[in-house]
Structure 1
Amino acid sequence: MAWYDEAIFYHIYPLGLLGAPKENSYDGVTHRLKELDPWINHIKEIGCNALYIGPLFESVGHGYETTDYRKLDSRLGDNKDLKRFVKKCHDKGIRVILDGVFNHTGRDFFAFKDIKENREKSRYKDWYCNVNFGGNNEYNDGFSYDNWGGFNLLVKLNQRNPEVKDYICDTIRFWVSEFDIDGLRLDAADVLDFDFMKALRAVANEVKPEFWLMGEVIHGDYTRWVNEGTLHSVTNYVMHKALYSGHNDHNYFEIAHTQRWLDGMGGSSGQGFKLYNFVDNHDVERIFTKLSNKAHFTPVHILLYTLPGIPSIYYGSEFAIEGRKEKFSDASLRPALNIKDYKDSVKNNPATKLVAALGKVRSETPELSYGDYKELHLQNRQYAFSRNYDGRSVVVTVNNDDNDCMLTLPAGNSVEYVGALFGERITVNNGCIQVCVKANSGEIWVPAEKENKKKKLVELQTITEAGKISDASENKGASGTKEKSDTHSDINGIEADSHTEREEFEPSYEETSESNPAIEAKMNSMAESKKNSKIDSQLNSEAESRSDSKGNYEEGVIAGLQEAILAIMEKNGYVTDQMRNDVYNNTHHDSLVNWVKSFIR
């Protein structure tokens, strides 16, 4: 049993929360990180015992185009600030994991700058993938290279280069010795080289007992990444999607089917792997925004805290704040918040009160961390399962209907159960319990032992209204000017859109309760065909249009490709003048085609 087996995470995107400028001017240090100190007590108060915070290191803009892996972003402070912050978290019993952005660097990274200066003579020319001195790019470097997501702002590292591998491994050692961190979340883990990840796991085993590696993976067979040789966990995007759409569609079959599918990979409960569960993060819309019926905030979070896996709360969502992906800005997903605006939220905000209560129940109920999963009842609007561990059984019930519902469910060896959230006591009769599940709510039924007979419970309320967002967070940064979407959020928006396309082809969970690899493969094929045909249609249309106006087919094709790229960019976020110029300055046909294809991978 490791610390992460019982972890409840809080997730902070620091550049957003602290209102840092969108662009790094490199003209000095601003000690913003100390402003997170009051949040440490809040994190503890709502029952979280681990913090995922990042990106943190020096970068050009959004944090994922790293300039220096060994220096805290100057918009946040210096290395002393980070060391002090981690210690304050540890003093409160909170573990800390950081973003490890090792798939790519920014163009200001020392190795890439050396290539620009020395070209073929650079000793770092093999640090990046497919550097071609016979090509060019939109920056007119006089060479081309592989990137991430179609953006040459993010230069793809050659993870098979031993020097790169050693440099990153030494960076992890530095972070542990300098800041005493407890683990890493690996950005874009689904495109990292597997041998590279094995090297990272070897370093994790070396630097600190129970050093945790968690990877950002969208979908696929999670056991490819989660095993003894690579990572401890990955982001559970399939359950993320099921949790909100299963409620919006009044379809608990989707959630139950997803859990069966995860169990089929090799077990996501008991002694199996534990995935990183979440209902929102810095790349997707807030859960309160996504829910059609805001009262479903309660059953969604009950499931987040009780289904197999490691639960995580994204900063601000415990207040039920809104956050919507917009055409010209993703800033509302990463707002600046002032904790003073949420004073006494655990007492006065129904959403915060619920999250804090769930944190307390989770920390006091080992069955929810270690127990196996058994489905007890499944209908479109009602769902029940048990988590069983060490001879005890905890029963979870949820209801997405507007009416109360009575359920009769098999129980464990206890003679009496108590609702951990609402306090109702029920007796086991003939091996079963009969429970009333309140409308748009749920309950966690735990065996009524002597120690919890007089347990003091909080009064939970229906959640119907969004939480307050401070004035400072209304798309404004430190300069007070309205912020625009960053490139990385645009990229993730593209990936999220691709994921949504795929979901349109998933079978109804009322029609099939078992996973079918053939259907899954067909869905992927159909989704990919639809995306490709959509892009091809757009390219042909744009090319023909521009060709007619110029009277030159070749110029029309180039112009059509450029317009198609801009159209996709605009769909996923704000397009700056620089980004637009980068597209128009690229007149290389093959480069433009590869750029378009990168959006649909």
Structure 2
Amino acid sequence: MGKWYNEAVFYHMYPLGMTGAPKENKEPETVHRLRELFPWIDHLKEIGVTAIYIGPLFESSTHGYDTKDYKKVDRRLGDNEDFKEFVRLAHENGIHVVVDGVFNHTGREFFAFQDIQKNREHSPYCSWYKGVNFGWNSPYNDGFGYEAWRNCFELVNLNLYEQAVRDYLFDVIHFWITEFDIDGIRLDCADCLTFDFMKEMRYRTGQWKEDFWLMGEVIHGDYARWVNDEMLHSTTNYELHKGLYSGHNDHNYFEIAHTIRRQFDDNGGIYRGRTLYSFVDNHDVDRLMSKLNNKDHIREVYTLLYTLPGIPSIYYGSEWGIEGRKQGASDDAMRPQLDLEKMQKENPHPELTAHIAALGKMRKENPVLADGKYRELVLTNRQYAYARIKDQDAIVVAANNDESPADMSIPVPVDGTYENAFTKEAVPVVDGRLQVHLDACESKVFRKK
């Protein structure tokens, strides 16, 4: 058996949006919206999900990334007891839970920043933040300046070179492990964090909980700088995310195949031996259904997501094919409130939900999809076939992004007889090649019997 996280199918929840929490945290009372998410756990089991990434959860001022209190669940979502119950229910159902760790910056309502506002040069927390300068001013007219994340001055950059800051944050992580029994952390803007901080985090969390998973949000750059034995187990694979939709929009399977070859090919793939976190949409980018020019491609995009190297992740609501685009600077359209019962009753794309559930089941039945080597078998602009192979196990995936049917002749990667992984029907092998017919915008998966 491999590690739980390398074999996982993730479900990404943005709870402030899902539960329709107010945009600003101004009300004094606690509202137990997290409890609305308890019934979702049964739904996740049905579609083959084995891990949840949920967040942000820390008490914050607005969107969740402007932290006010690291040890409290945001009162708009509920209290710490609600989240403990959520994790307990997930674990009872065999689902791991990973939370958002926002450690690059805090909000302006965080105690250390407020102490600087009050005591200025005399505050013991001046060194907790980057660039604090009493000769400057901030857009908020604080009477001092500071470094902000991407010039968003509601987000004050922490100074991770300061031992007291690191100790504080490690204490926070230890608290979330002991208090809630979380299984991992997704590090917000990991590409802004110091390598030493992440190395120490990897060491400490490994001591506190075996198989604790660290995944970093990294958009650009060489992911191997972050994913290694000393630092993180995984990062977001934004490079593949882009190819998965644009390769279909442009009828260009070369884009996807080139990305995978560059990343994971057995001969020279720069991330071979590493496992990245794959996704087709999330809380920061447009929904897949809104990105596809031809929406009939959606099922084959998910087939590729689940069968190419990587840990697949579904963003809440996308299993029903909902739409949502960034509007100017606002991400609200990608973070809608959803009523589970209503979505299940009025599912706009039941065939997509069923396909995702079938992919989840197939992934569980075929561990080769988690750790098998990747081999490209056929590649044209509009047709693509590849295998995942381990010893004598093999899965073959065939995809057709054309608006017309296609016949493919695919060399088998491991000798033997093959069947359709979903229907269990036998597939003809002639002279060592699978003879496959694909309808327009169709994908099929075959397994060696």
The ranges of structure 1 where at least 4 consecutive aligned residues each deviate by more than 4 angstroms after the TM superposition are 264-269, 344-348
Q: Is the contact between residue 387 and residue 413 of structure 2 (CA under 8 Å) also seen in structure 1? A: no
Q: How does 1:47-196 map to 2 (within 5 A)?
A: 47-196=48-197
CA deviation profile, 1:291-334 (whole Å, cap 9, x unmatched)? 00000001101000000000000000000001111136421100
Q: Which runs of 5+ in 1 are unaligned?
A: 449-601
Q: Is the contact between residue 405 and residue 438 of structure 1 (CA under 8 Å) also seen in structure 2? A: yes
Distance change (3 Å), C-alpha of 1:398 and 1:289: same
The letter of the residue matching 2:58 is F
Alpha-carbon shift at residue 406 of structure 1 (Å) = 1.2
The letter of the residue matching 1:79 is N
**For structure 1, which segment, 47-56 or 257-266, has the greater mean C-alpha deviation from structure 2 after superposition?**
257-266
Q: Is the contact between residue 347 and residue 353 of structure 1 (CA under 8 Å) also seen in structure 2? A: no
Number of the residue aligned with 1:232: 233
Alpha-carbon shift at residue 424 of structure 1 (Å) = 3.8
Alpha-carbon shift at residue 206 of structure 1 (Å) = 1.2
Query: What is the DSSP-based 3-state SS (H/G/I as helix, E as strand, rest coil) of the residue aligned with 1:223?
Result: helix
Q: Is the contact between residue 56 and residue 73 of structure 1 (CA under 8 Å) also seen in structure 2? A: yes
CA deviation profile, 1:528-567 (whole Å, cap 9, x unmatched)? xxxxxxxxxxxxxxxxxxxxxxxxxxxxxxxxxxxxxxxx
Cα distance between partner residues in 1 of 2:206 and 2:259: 31
The letter of the residue matching 1:116 is Q
Distance change (3 Å), C-alpha of 1:413 and 1:138: closer
CA deviation profile, 1:326-348 (whole Å, cap 9, x unmatched)? 13642110000000112267897
1:29 maps onto 2:30 in alignment: yes
Cα distance between partner residues in 1 of 2:289 and 2:205: 36
The letter of the residue matching 1:216 is E
Q: Is the contact between residue 345 and residue 352 of structure 1 (CA under 8 Å) also seen in structure 2? A: no
Cα distance between partner residues in 2 of 1:245 and 1:427: 32
Alpha-carbon shift at residue 262 of structure 1 (Å) = 1.1
Q: Is the contact between residue 262 and residue 269 of structure 2 (CA under 8 Å) also seen in structure 1? A: no
Alpha-carbon shift at residue 40 of structure 1 (Å) = 0.5
1:45 maps onto 2:19 in alignment: no
Alpha-carbon shift at residue 425 of structure 1 (Å) = 1.7
1:338 maps onto 2:347 in alignment: no
CA deviation profile, 1:385-416 (whole Å, cap 9, x unmatched)? 00001222211110100122111111144532
Alpha-carbon shift at residue 120 of structure 1 (Å) = 0.7
Cα distance between partner residues in 2 of 1:136 and 1:292: 47
Cα distance between partner residues in 1 of 2:91 and 2:329: 39
Number of the residue aligned with 2:256: 255
Cα distance between partner residues in 1 of 2:390 and 2:292: 32
Alpha-carbon shift at residue 215 of structure 1 (Å) = 0.3
Cα distance between partner residues in 2 of 1:344 and 1:392: 39
Query: What is the DSSP-based 3-state SS (H/G/I as helix, E as strand, rest coil) of the residue aligned with 2:5?
Result: helix
The letter of the residue matching 1:164 is V
Q: How does 1:425-444 map to 2 (within 5 A)?
A: 425-444=426-445
CA deviation profile, 1:218-276 (whole Å, cap 9, x unmatched)? 0211100000011000000000000000000000000001111212675545xx11100
Cα distance between partner residues in 2 of 1:348 and 1:382: 25
Query: What is the DSSP-based 3-state SS (H/G/I as helix, E as strand, rest coil) of the residue aligned with 2:49?
Result: coil
The letter of the residue matching 1:438 is D
Query: What is the DSSP-based 3-state SS (H/G/I as helix, E as strand, rest coil) of the residue aligned with 1:6?
Result: coil
Query: What is the DSSP-based 3-state SS (H/G/I as helix, E as strand, rest coil) of the residue aligned with 2:113?
Result: helix
The letter of the residue matching 1:192 is L
Cα distance between partner residues in 2 of 1:348 and 1:142: 54
Number of the residue aligned with 1:350: 351
Number of the residue aligned with 2:387: 386
TM-score by length of 2: 0.97
Number of the residue aligned with 2:15: 14
Number of the residue aligned with 2:420: 419
Number of the residue aligned with 2:247: 246
Cα distance between partner residues in 1 of 2:34 and 2:381: 46
The letter of the residue matching 1:327 is G
Distance change (3 Å), C-alpha of 1:266 and 1:254: closer
Number of the residue aligned with 2:223: 222
CA deviation profile, 1:112-144 (whole Å, cap 9, x unmatched)? 000111111111100001110111011111110
Q: Is the contact between residue 194 and residue 230 of structure 1 (CA under 8 Å) also seen in structure 2? A: yes
The letter of the residue matching 1:309 is G
Query: What is the DSSP-based 3-state SS (H/G/I as helix, E as strand, rest coil) of the residue aligned with 1:93?
Result: coil
Q: Is the contact between residue 386 and residue 396 of structure 1 (CA under 8 Å) also seen in structure 2? A: yes
Q: Is the contact between residue 252 and residue 378 of structure 1 (CA under 8 Å) also seen in structure 2? A: yes
The letter of the residue matching 1:319 is W
Number of the residue aligned with 1:455: none
Cα distance between partner residues in 2 of 1:22 and 1:150: 21
Cα distance between partner residues in 1 of 2:218 and 2:397: 28
Number of the residue aligned with 1:401: 402
Cα distance between partner residues in 2 of 1:424 and 1:299: 19
- RMSD, matched Cα: 1.5
Distance change (3 Å), C-alpha of 1:392 and 1:257: same
The letter of the residue matching 2:134 is F
The letter of the residue matching 1:433 is L
Q: Which runs of 5+ in 2 are unaligned?
A: none
Cα distance between partner residues in 2 of 1:29 and 1:333: 25
Distance change (3 Å), C-alpha of 1:391 and 1:397: same
Structure having the larger proportion of residues in helix: 1
**For structure 1, which segment, 357-366 or 328-337, has the greater mean C-alpha deviation from structure 2 after superposition?**
328-337
Query: What is the DSSP-based 3-state SS (H/G/I as helix, E as strand, rest coil) of the residue aligned with 2:395?
Result: strand
Distance change (3 Å), C-alpha of 1:346 and 1:421: farther
Distance change (3 Å), C-alpha of 1:173 and 1:55: same
Alpha-carbon shift at residue 26 of structure 1 (Å) = 4.5
Q: Is the contact between residue 46 and residue 346 of structure 1 (CA under 8 Å) also seen in structure 2? A: no
The letter of the residue matching 1:364 is E
Count of aligned positions: 446
Alpha-carbon shift at residue 431 of structure 1 (Å) = 2.1
Q: Is the contact between residue 268 and residue 309 of structure 1 (CA under 8 Å) also seen in structure 2? A: no
Alpha-carbon shift at residue 433 of structure 1 (Å) = 1.4
Say which one has the larger Rg: 1
Distance change (3 Å), C-alpha of 1:46 and 1:346: farther
Number of the residue aligned with 1:308: 309
Percent of residue pairs bearing the same amino acid type: 55
Structure having the larger proportion of residues in strand: 2
Cα distance between partner residues in 2 of 1:392 and 1:414: 10
Distance change (3 Å), C-alpha of 1:266 and 1:253: closer
CA deviation profile, 1:463-501 (whole Å, cap 9, x unmatched)? xxxxxxxxxxxxxxxxxxxxxxxxxxxxxxxxxxxxxxx
Q: How does 1:185-584 map to 2 (within 5 A)?
A: 185-263=186-264, 268=271, 272-327=273-328, 329-343=330-344, 349-448=350-449
The letter of the residue matching 2:331 is D
Q: Is the contact between residue 264 and residue 309 of structure 2 (CA under 8 Å) also seen in structure 1? A: no
Distance change (3 Å), C-alpha of 1:427 and 1:267: farther
